Amino acid sequence: MAYRNFFGFACMVLVTFAVATVPAPASADENSMARVYFEQGNQALTRGMNARGRRKTRFLQQALESYMQSLQIVRTRNVVYNAGVALEGLERDDEAFGYFREYLEFPNLSAEERAEAMTKLTALRQRVAVVMIESTPPGAEVRIDRRDLAVVGTTPLEVAVSAGNHRVFVSAEGYVDGEGTVMGATGRRERVAVELSAEPIALVIHSEGMGTVLLDGHPVDTSGELRVMPGEHVIRFGDAPPIHVTLRPGEGRREVRFDAPQNAPQGMLAVSTNVDDASVFVDGEILNTGRELETSVASGPRTIRIEAPGYAPATRRIDIPADGEARLTVHLEEDVGDESRFGKLPGVLWLSAGVIGLGAAGTGIAAVVANSNFNSATDQTLDQAHQVETLNTAADILFGVTAGVGIAALIFTLLNHDVEQPPSAIEVSAAPVEGGGVLMARGTWGAQ
């Protein structure tokens, strides 16, 4: 069983990776203590490799404890590797897998060192359940089974778990915590991907005395703090140059000061409509929503458009005087559109007629077969006659219902015109003839 010795290049590794992998550099005394623990671990590991039974377990446990004490001071690749070897000897394969994976993440490994660690991982894969955890965005912290447990790494992350179902908790600064589930199976590699949703960011717009401010084309109240999702945003006021703001996940708070141009003359615009939730647009930018609106806008000729759900939009051209006021009253007309009188009813009737017709055809065929069998039978019975009569009656009823539903579908189709169109009319009549009857229909469609 191969393991790493602390001497030689390992001493340089200790100092180099102490700076690269821990928040604060270890002092010279701490490095010396880490070296002492490492050497103690190597001595115990050597004894464990040459022992059997309980003595082997005892020595390997002592080695692992010494390596853990060394790693608490500074995390070096040789200590990580040897801890993996000790864990493998103790048959704690899940943990050993994690240490060998961490070892491979150290930079500047030689090809031989990398190949040896990969060989370890390949052998362990046959004895553990491996899970590949990914997240959007990457770099999120991962916890397995419980939120209050220690972080096992950051995404993308390959970990070994026990066989069975596991919960995966993923968290990143500026994002809502995510969660996934995965079923681990010994000797297999499963994948779980978690997409994190960004948390809104506090945005404060300082725009005292400027009137209505638009954020991404929508009016906002700038008297307090806004909660805005990360991404690209545009802040506008009248003819002032827009301010482009990029909010990034995890950004605690952003303040923007919006100063109106000094030489931009303003005027008052008052709009009255007959609809409570009417939206008022000025030159294509939404100004506000409501029945009555009064606000300051840039003076000059402006195009005013008023929209409301269920109403036809109205557009007006108006001149806003500098330091003056322009009033506009607009009555919105209901937008009937192409609403039909009976909606989807004709289609439902046609579908029903088709289904019933298929049933009638099947029953009719069965009736013909039964009648043929009855006529050709030499020993006709009362039960056979009753069966033939029942099938004939059922077929007649189904064909009649099919015809009735079909006629109703035709009538509703012809009458299902748009509400604004002239009404359609249809006249249906029936006349008996020899051997049956005749059904006649005539009518008009819309204005035709």
Q: How confident is the model at residue 443 (pLDDT cuts 50, 70, 90)?
A: low
How far apart are the C-alpha atoms of 222 and 203, rounded to whole Å?
A: 9
Q: For residues 430 and 378, state if they share a domain.
A: yes
State which of 309, 335, 361 marks the end of a domain: 335
Q: For residues 6 and 104, state if they share a domain.
A: yes
Residues 274-305 have pLDDT tens digits of: 988 888 888 777 777 888 888 877 788 888 99
Residues 224-269 have pLDDT tens digits of: 888 999 989 988 876 667 888 888 888 778 888 765 555 567 788 8
- Count of domains for the chain: 5
Q: For residues 359 and 415, state if they share a domain.
A: yes
How far apart are the C-alpha atoms of 38 and 3, rounded to whole Å?
A: 12
In a domain, 15, yes or no: yes
> What type of residue is 188?
R
In a domain, 133, yes or no: yes
Query: CA 25, 30, 32, 36: dihedral to nearest 10 degrees?
Result: -120
Instruction: Look up residue 189 and give its two tokens.
Output: 């590699």
Give residue for tokens 């623990």: 37
How far apart are the C-alpha atoms of 90 and 61, rounded to whole Å?
A: 8
Q: For residues 94 and 136, state if they share a domain.
A: no
We report the CATH number of the domain holding residue 178 as 2.60.40.1120
**pLDDT value of position 2:** 62
We report the CATH number of the domain holding residue 96 as 1.25.40.10
Q: For residues 5 and 108, state if they share a domain.
A: yes
Q: For residues 52 and 151, state if they share a domain.
A: no
Q: Which of 174, 93, 168 is nearest to 129 (CA)?
A: 93
User: Residue 217: which domain range?
Assistant: 202-261
How far apart are the C-alpha atoms of 372 and 387, rounded to whole Å?
A: 12
Q: For residues 8 and 110, state if they share a domain.
A: yes
Q: For residues 274 and 369, state if they share a domain.
A: no
Q: For residues 78 and 18, state if they share a domain.
A: yes
**pLDDT value of position 373:** 79
Q: Is there a contact between 297 and 239 (Cβ–Cβ < 8 Å)?
A: no
CA-to-CA separations, 31 to 60, 71, 234, in angstroms, rounded = 23, 11, 53
**pLDDT value of position 267:** 83
Q: Report the range of poorest mean pLDDT among 219-223, 272-276, 329-333, 425-429.
A: 425-429
Q: Which of 186, 144, 194 is nearest to 166 (CA)?
A: 144
Q: For residues 4 and 115, state if they share a domain.
A: yes
Bridge partners of residue 175, in order along the sequence: 198
> What type of residue is 82?
N
In a domain, 340, yes or no: no
We report the CATH number of the domain holding residue 311 as 2.60.40.10
Q: For residues 90 and 173, state if they share a domain.
A: no
Residue 16 has pLDDT above 50, yes or no: no
In a domain, 303, yes or no: yes
3-state percent helix, strand, coil for the chain, nearest multiple of 5: 35, 30, 30
State which of 173, 197, 221 marks the end of a domain: 197
In a domain, 191, yes or no: yes
Q: Which of 46, 59, 133 is nearest to 90 (CA)?
A: 59
How much of the chain, in percent, has pLDDT values that exceed 90?
37
State which of 127, 144, 167 marks the end of a domain: 127
Count Cβ atoms within 10 A of the Cβ of residue 132 and give its class: 0-12 exposed, 13-18 middle, 19 or more buried. middle
> What type of residue is 336?
V
Task: Read off the pTM.
Answer: 0.49
In a domain, 296, yes or no: yes
Q: For residues 9 and 120, state if they share a domain.
A: yes
